[in-house]
Structure 1
Amino acid sequence: MAKKIIYPLLAVIGIAVASGAAWWYQSKPKGTQEVNGVPAAAASAPVAGARAGSESASRPAGVEVARVEKISLRDDAQSVGSLRSRQSVMLRPEIPGRVKTLGFRDGAPVRKGQLLVQLDDTLQQAELKQALAQVSIAQASLKRNQELVAQNFVAQRVLEESLANLQVVEAQLALSQARLARMAIVAPFDGTVGIRNINLGDFVKDGADLVNLEDISSMYVDFRLPERYQGKLKPQQTVELALDAFPGRAFKARVDAIDPLLDANGRSVSVRALLPNTLGQPAQRDKPVGAATHAGAPVAKPGATGAVRGGTSGSAAPLRPGMFARVTTVFSVNNAALVVPEEAIVPQGGRQFVIKVVVPSALHVAPENLPPETKFVSLRQEVKLGVRRQGKVEITEGLSESQTVVVAGQQRLQKDGTPLRIVELGRPSPGAASLAGPTPTASAPAPAASR
């Protein structure tokens, strides 16, 4: 009976001892842990001292830098559009009739008021003659009644009836003249006719398509821009065009109208620009090196790239409605824009910063508090951004020209006054592999002392 009680008691005591030992091991300070019978704090003291000495003797943080540049920068937006005639109309008859005369050739220029299509007007001519005769009779009757009223042979009422009758027949005459005029279809403006859809002798109904008339002395280009550009758009802004039909040529237009109504589907604004119907100018990128110039304008040498086949004398109006256009709307041009690489921007808390490279004296840092041979330290600077173009970002506030900023390694610079070591690309130095950024892309300039 005693043995049965002792075994469970020993088991409980063993569990309690094991639990207490485990609790003590987990809760004691790490510095008091033993390593091979020696307290860990004592064993690690030389190592910690060696590490501290190594850190004090380590070199400054390696970074890549770039200078603030001043360049000419454009604020623009790209879109696509289509060319349209300045004026365009499809000529249609108001009265049905048979085609009697065609006064144009397909695709030929015409003048305002020129007869284009004459419909058979025999019936209208007869109606006009009848109306003229009725007017003549009414005028004679009125004159006779005036004389009779003057002699008191007829009442005044007869004279008034004659006058009213004359007005009726004059109205009928005007109606006959209007019907006759509608049988002749004339050009409403100067332009170029298209290809006709009728022939002599055809009977056309009212509203049938006869021929289109286009005014292409100048052209419209219609395009759309996202609604965020609504505040930047203004009349007479410059618009640059590139047409697939004329590769190597550059065209310029001016904003003529801005639609006040935004497209609810695409959230875009419609814009119309006006451009002259010319061959434009050779695009800069296609101008051959060493091309001859005359009177300040580039003239392509024979066989040079970018020349338009057929020359400029092939057509006085080379542009046509419906052509596809690549449109660049220029909002502004800043000839003295300060830019830095986009990699230099450090966003933080909704604000934008760069890290400038300055000399220690700019922050009143004593040389004895810096590692040996330290020439530069870091300084965080808040900036305001402008236009972004091709890996560059405009700095509108916060920097000046020729200052130097960090473009790689910013994560090492958590506080101002951190010692810096400029890594020159192409000249790897010990520790350069620890820099942020996998592959350098440009040589680092020598930093200027910034204040």
Structure 2
Amino acid sequence: MRKLWPVILVLLIAVGLAVVLFPNGHKSLRAEKGPKPAQQSQSRAVAVEVAPAVTAVYQEDLRSVGSLMSDESVQIASEISGRIESFRFSEGQTVSAGDELVKLDDALARAELVDAQARFELARANLERARTLSKSGHVTERAQDEAKAAFETARAAVELANVRLAKHVIKAPFDGIVGLRNASVGAYVSIGTPIVNLEKIDVLKIDFKLPEAALTQIFPGQSVTVEVDAIPGRTFEAEIYAINPMVDVNGRALHVRARMANPDLILRPGLFARVTVKGRETRNVVMVPESAIVPRAGESVVYTIQGGKAVETKVTLGRRSAGMVQILSGLEPNTTVVVAGQLKLSNGSEVEIVQTQSPSALEKS
């Protein structure tokens, strides 16, 4: 018993100190456990940003990619076999239709022409002689016919020799710019061997494809905006002039061709182009910021504000453009929707609006 007295004395001293140092400790605990209605009500309100559903004129642009092409393009080639004697152009030179480009060795062709002309003169003399003798009855009608046939054959041979000789000079079929040649002077070329390309690029064509659903939205004469990655920050105007009557059965796509002016020759065939076709306009379209849309179980919802509370509203979405999304059904114009903070909301949550985006700000965005 005497051994327990020191322990009991220490415990009594500790309890006394606790009472002296923390006289209101029990009350404080009870006070902390007590409810604070004002603070709880304030903590339940979710801070949100809102914006009105606006009506707008929606233009359904059609976008695609394509390639620029020369208005006219050809590989200059020879129609006959022969040795190149000379070039009448410089690579990259602008030429006009009819300008001589390539000269082939024509010595043999000129000799053949001289031979044909000599035979023609002989045939003509024989025909004149036969006609003279036929008047005196010294030449039969058959002999006269044979002389006439020989004359016509000789004349055709002269024309053929002239054509062959002319083909030793290759001329430009249209105005354009000559490319890089594929042969040198002295080279022997066969029929159809490409020698140099000729491109008409003061006007360019653009080939691109659109989905078959766009069939009723495009037509010849429709304007097209073209952007080229090689020339950033600049747009060009083109015009649709042809639509292939056959739809591509593999991709279900329409093959469209447009034409654009290129007076300064800054654009070149083969460049990659981004094409925008101005589509039809739809008026009084209800649109909201994309940030207002909340995916929910395979559907799309927005939160509207009614009486200081969030109301979950199902909507049907249309097309998207410039940060806005079209609402096909479920929302009336000018309805206030939550655009920030909605992930913390549920149907019926109390909200505190901290910022409202104006319609003008939405249009700028």
Which of 1 and 2 has higher RCO (CA within 8 Å, sep 6+)?
A: 2
Task: Identify the residue that residue 122 of structure 2 maps to in structure 1.
Answer: 137
TM-score normalised by L of structure 2: 0.70
Task: Identify the residue that residue 99 of structure 1 maps to in structure 2.
Answer: 84
Task: Identify the residue that residue 326 of structure 1 maps to in structure 2.
Answer: 274
Does 2:70 align with 1:85? yes
Does 2:170 align with 1:170? no
Distance apart, 1:104 and its partner CA: 0.3
Equivalent runs, 1:278-297 vs 2, <5 Å? 278=263
Does 2:118 align with 1:186? no
Distance apart, 1:129 and its partner CA: 1.5
Q: Are the aligned partners of 1:424 and 1:443 in contact in 2 as well (CA < 8 Å)?
A: no
Task: Identify the residue that residue 248 of structure 1 maps to in structure 2.
Answer: 233
Match of 2:103 among 118, 122, 125: 118
Aligned length: 311
Q: Which 5+ residue runs of structure 2 have no aligned equivalent?
A: 1-46, 360-365
Q: Give the secondary-structure state (helix, strand or coil) at the position aligned to 1:163.
A: helix
TM-score normalised by L of structure 1: 0.58
Amino acid aligned to 2:115:
Q
Distance apart, 1:120 and its partner CA: 0.5
Distance in 1 (alpha carbons) for counterparts of 2:353 and 2:48: 10
Does 2:219 align with 1:234? yes
Task: Identify the residue that residue 215 of structure 1 maps to in structure 2.
Answer: 200
Deviations 1:149-182 (A, max 9, x none): 2333322222222222222112212221221111
Name whichever structure is richer in strand by fraction.
2
Distance apart, 1:259 and its partner CA: 2.3
Q: Are the aligned partners of 1:356 and 1:381 in contact in 2 as well (CA < 8 Å)?
A: no
Amino acid aligned to 2:321:
R
Distance in 2 (alpha carbons) for counterparts of 1:72 and 1:382: 20
Equivalent runs, 1:270-419 vs 2, <5 Å? 270-278=255-263, 316-333=264-281, 337-341=285-289, 387-394=319-326, 403-404=334-335, 406=337, 412=347
Distance apart, 1:236 and its partner CA: 2.1
Distance in 1 (alpha carbons) for counterparts of 2:202 and 2:335: 53
User: How large is the RMSD of aligned CA atoms in angstroms?
Assistant: 3.9
Q: Are the aligned partners of 1:72 and 1:336 in contact in 2 as well (CA < 8 Å)?
A: yes
Distance apart, 1:390 and its partner CA: 3.4
Distance in 1 (alpha carbons) for counterparts of 2:144 and 2:304: 103
Distance apart, 1:341 and its partner CA: 4.3
Percent of paired sites with the same residue? 40
Q: Are the aligned partners of 2:48 and 2:353 in contact in 1 as well (CA < 8 Å)?
A: no
Task: Identify the residue that residue 21 of structure 1 maps to in structure 2.
Answer: none
Distance in 2 (alpha carbons) for counterparts of 1:424 and 1:170: 103
Q: Are the aligned partners of 2:201 and 2:265 in contact in 1 as well (CA < 8 Å)?
A: yes
Distance in 2 (alpha carbons) for counterparts of 1:114 and 1:201: 21
Distance apart, 1:330 and its partner CA: 1.9
- The structure-2 alpha-carbon separation of the partners of 1:247 and 1:320, relative to structure 1 and needing over 3 Å to count, comes to same
Distance apart, 1:393 and its partner CA: 3.7
- The structure-2 alpha-carbon separation of the partners of 1:147 and 1:336, relative to structure 1 and needing over 3 Å to count, comes to farther
Task: Identify the residue that residue 18 of structure 2 maps to in structure 1.
Answer: none
Distance apart, 1:382 and its partner CA: 9.5
Distance apart, 1:113 and its partner CA: 0.5
Distance apart, 1:101 and its partner CA: 1.9
Q: Are the aligned partners of 2:84 and 2:188 in contact in 1 as well (CA < 8 Å)?
A: yes
